[in-house]
């Protein structure tokens, strides 16, 4: 039977993090038929499945939408790369695999803001249900869910513990499980990896559901629009194999096309700000000016340091080492291939009066670009830090009725003074932590104090943030700094307000 002749109970657009979970759950009891449409294709690639290769899929057109922002006015008009997954598993197949649920108070705050049932007490059972934590279940952690979570390679590199010790020496807590009773502090980091493989939602949720006769998956399918009758979603129009298809729905069309894709698709369907739609040549179906608004993301900086002892992972970046790591992973699914290398972390507060942590560290025992495009020559390590509660807001705006044309994306990073203040705190507090003696001698490791100048002279767009926005006193000692204030990682946008 062709899809056109069939009406599904549910149509899910996008087989990403959310879409794969929904496809599994909605077909579980066998009572409902589901059509899952995904623009990307198969995730069967060593670059997706082997965790250490994480920088490759995010830079590969086949696996990721290679969006670019408009010039960001508060980042010296720099355009930022904004990859999003375009493959089974969506962004969970190209992401950094860091498993951080969020602070309990974040969820309580949602509830206080009106999201009934989204407080921590209500969410915790679902976190536990979803997870199999490698070290067993307890009040907070799950032990029989589809999503495998572990802590990588067990912090074998001495730099991981040195960083935790430095945090404790600077006066912060030590936390053994930041996804458990206490987020705040420094400790080992957790990642969505199972049996040495990336545990994307395609692996965790979609694969186990693929044999169900009530689930139909169509890949390489670009949904053009949601069809509406009297403002009710009744189906979708999509393109696949050079042809246009329609599919009808009995119950719901679910948009899980991501923070860029979902608002863009609503706008393509005539749902959004009337003025914006008119400019793009789209007939208005339903005026909802909030669609695409409130786009937000958390920016992250990294600080890089030279390491004087020959212990960092920079020495594992040569082709021979990579071959050995890859071969071991293929044969045994363990070793340095089976980790994202962010094995220690910290959650701290930026200032007095902040009620729960708003800054997050990831520690990497190598100095390189997150996207893998450039690495430091010699031993080095780096600290990533981000301000988790940015106030700056941007938008996703359609510019053309052609579904192949990307929307205009602008985050307005660092527009709000509170965000700039947060990043100033990041600089100051990172200096304090890195100047602790644990970073000098822990594990027999000695760190250079002279790297600043090298970083500066080798640097790429250094102008971006520090000089203009982060006006701090001159660095007292070691290093620094912020060569590639990168990351666009978890954009969130509005699809349904108004
Ligand atoms: C580089 C990177 C690193 C990250 N690192 C981390 C991390 O370490 N830890 C963490 O917790 N989070 C991380 N994230 C964020 C996290 O991965 C995302 O928040 C999450 O995957 C988003 O899920 P989603 O279901 O909303 O969208 P996605 O998973 O992006 O899925 C959307 C899917 O919809 C498809 N789609 C879009 N438009 C259409 C259309 N018109 N027709 C058909 N299909 C369509 C896409 O191809 C995609 O597969 C990272 C994200 C990125 C990009």
pLDDT at 478: 29
Q: Are 18 and 25 in contact (CB under 8 A)?
A: no
Q: Report the alpha-carbon angle 288-294-298, nearest 5.
A: 155
CA-491 nearest atom, ligand 1: 19
Q: List the structure tokens of 480.
A: 């620094």
In the three-class reduction of DSSP (H, G, I as helix; E, B as strand; rest coil), residue 266 is classed as: helix
pLDDT at 208: 98
Q: Are 406 and 67 in contact (CB under 8 A)?
A: yes
pLDDT at 300: 85
Which pLDDT band, with edges at 50, 70 and 90, does 450 fall under? very low
How many angstroms does the Cα of residue 65 sit away from the middle of ligand 1?
10
**Nearest in space to 80 (alpha carbons), one of 238, 295, 307:** 295
170 pLDDT exceeds 60? Answer: yes
Q: Is 96 in the pocket of ligand 1 (CB under 6 A)?
A: yes
Helix (H) or strand (E) holding 253: strand 243-255
pLDDT in tens, 40-79: 999 999 999 999 999 999 999 999 999 999 999 998 898 9
Mean pLDDT over the full length of the chain:
87
pLDDT at 447: 56
pLDDT at 429: 93
How many angstroms does the Cα of residue 64 sit away from the middle of ligand 1?
9
Residue nearest to atom 27 of ligand 1 (CA): 258
pLDDT in tens, 305-327: 878 788 889 888 889 999 999 99
Q: List the structure tokens of 150.
A: 């572990």
Residue nearest to atom 39 of ligand 1 (CA): 257
Instruction: Provide mean pLDDT across the span 255-277.
Output: 97
Lowest mean pLDDT segment, chosen from 161-175, 340-354, 421-435? 421-435
**Nearest in space to 483 (alpha carbons), one of 302, 298, 359, 307:** 302
In the three-class reduction of DSSP (H, G, I as helix; E, B as strand; rest coil), residue 418 is classed as: helix
Q: Is 185 in the pocket of ligand 1 (CB under 6 A)?
A: no
407 contact partners, CB below 8 Å, separation of at least 6: 260, 263, 264, 267, 292, 396, 397, 398, 399
pLDDT in tens, 70-90: 999 998 898 999 999 999 999
How many angstroms does the Cα of residue 260 sit away from the middle of ligand 1?
9
Q: Is 17 in the pocket of ligand 1 (CB under 6 A)?
A: yes
pLDDT at 302: 81
pLDDT in tens, 346-398: 999 999 999 999 999 999 999 877 666 667 778 888 888 888 889 999 999 99
How many angstroms does the Cα of residue 158 sit away from the middle of ligand 1?
33
How many angstroms does the Cα of residue 63 sit away from the middle of ligand 1?
11
Lowest mean pLDDT segment, chosen from 12-21, 87-96, 182-191, 437-446? 437-446
| Percent of residues, the chain, with pLDDT higher than 90 | 74
pLDDT at 220: 98
What radius of gyration, in Å, describes the C-alpha atoms of the chain?
A: 23
Q: Is 485 in the pocket of ligand 1 (CB under 6 A)?
A: no
259 pLDDT exceeds 90? Answer: yes
319 contact partners, CB below 8 Å, separation of at least 6: none
Residue nearest to atom 49 of ligand 1 (CA): 90
């Amino acid at each position: 039977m062709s899809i056109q002749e069939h009406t599904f109970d549910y149509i899910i657009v996008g087989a990403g993090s959310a879409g794969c979970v929904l496809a599994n759950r909605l077909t579980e009891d066998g009572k409902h038929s589901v059509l899952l449409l995904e623009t990307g294709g198969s995730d069967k690639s060593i670059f997706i499945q082997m965790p250490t290769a994480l920088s490759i899929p995010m830079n590969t057109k086949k696996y990721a939408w290679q969006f670019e922002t408009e010039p960001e006015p508060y980042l010296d008009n720099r355009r930022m790369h904004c990859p999003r997954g375009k493959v089974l598993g969506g962004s969970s197949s190209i992401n950094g695999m860091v498993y951080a649920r969020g602070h309990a108070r974040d969820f309580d705050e949602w509830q206080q803001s009106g999201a009934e049932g989204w407080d921590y007490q209500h969410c915790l059972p679902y976190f536990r249900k979803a997870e199999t934590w490698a070290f067993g279940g307890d009040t907070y952690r799950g032990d029989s869910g589809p999503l495998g979570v572990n802590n990588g390679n067990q912090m074998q590199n001495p730099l991981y513990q040195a960083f935790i010790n430095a945090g404790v020496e600077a006066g912060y807590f030590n936390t053994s499980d930041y996804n458990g009773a206490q987020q705040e502090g420094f400790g080992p980091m957790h990642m969505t990896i199972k049996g040495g493989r990336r545990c994307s939602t395609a692996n965790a949720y979609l694969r186990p559901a693929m044999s169900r006769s009530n689930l139909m998956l169509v890949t390489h399918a670009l949904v053009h629009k949601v069809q509406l009758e009297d403002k009710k979603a009744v189906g979708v129009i999509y393109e696949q194999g050079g042809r246009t298809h329609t599919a009808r729905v009995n119950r719901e069309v679910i948009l899980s096309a991501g923070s860029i894709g979902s608002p863009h698709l609503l706008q393509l369907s005539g749902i959004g700000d009337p003025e914006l739609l008119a400019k793009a040549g789209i007939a208005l179906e339903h005026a909802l000016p909030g669609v695409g608004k409130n786009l937000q993301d958390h920016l992250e900086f990294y600080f890089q340091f030279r390491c004087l002892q020959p212990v960092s992972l920079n020495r594992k970046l040569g082709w021979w080492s990579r071959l050995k790591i890859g071969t071991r992973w293929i044969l045994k699914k363990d070793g340095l291939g089976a980790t994202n290398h962010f094995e220690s972390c910290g959650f701290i507060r930026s200032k007095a009066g902040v009620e729960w942590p708003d800054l997050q560290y990831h520690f990497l025992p190598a100095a390189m670009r997150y996207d893998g495009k450039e690495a430091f020559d010699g031993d080095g390590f780096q600290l990533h830090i981000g301000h988790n509660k940015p106030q700056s807001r941007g938008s996703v705006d359609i510019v053309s009725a052609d579904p192949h044309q990307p929307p205009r994306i602008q985050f307005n990073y660092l527009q709000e003074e509170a965000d700039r203040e947060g990043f100033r705190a990041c600089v100051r507090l990172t200096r304090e932590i890195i100047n602790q003696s644990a970073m000098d001698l822990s594990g027999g490791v000695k760190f250079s104090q002279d790297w600043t100048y090298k970083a500066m002279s080798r640097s790429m767009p250094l102008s971006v943030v520090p000089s203009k926005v982060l006006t701090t006193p001159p660095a007292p000692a070691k290093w620094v700094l912020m060569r590639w204030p990168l990351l666009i990682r978890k954009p969130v946008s509005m699809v349904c307000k108004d």
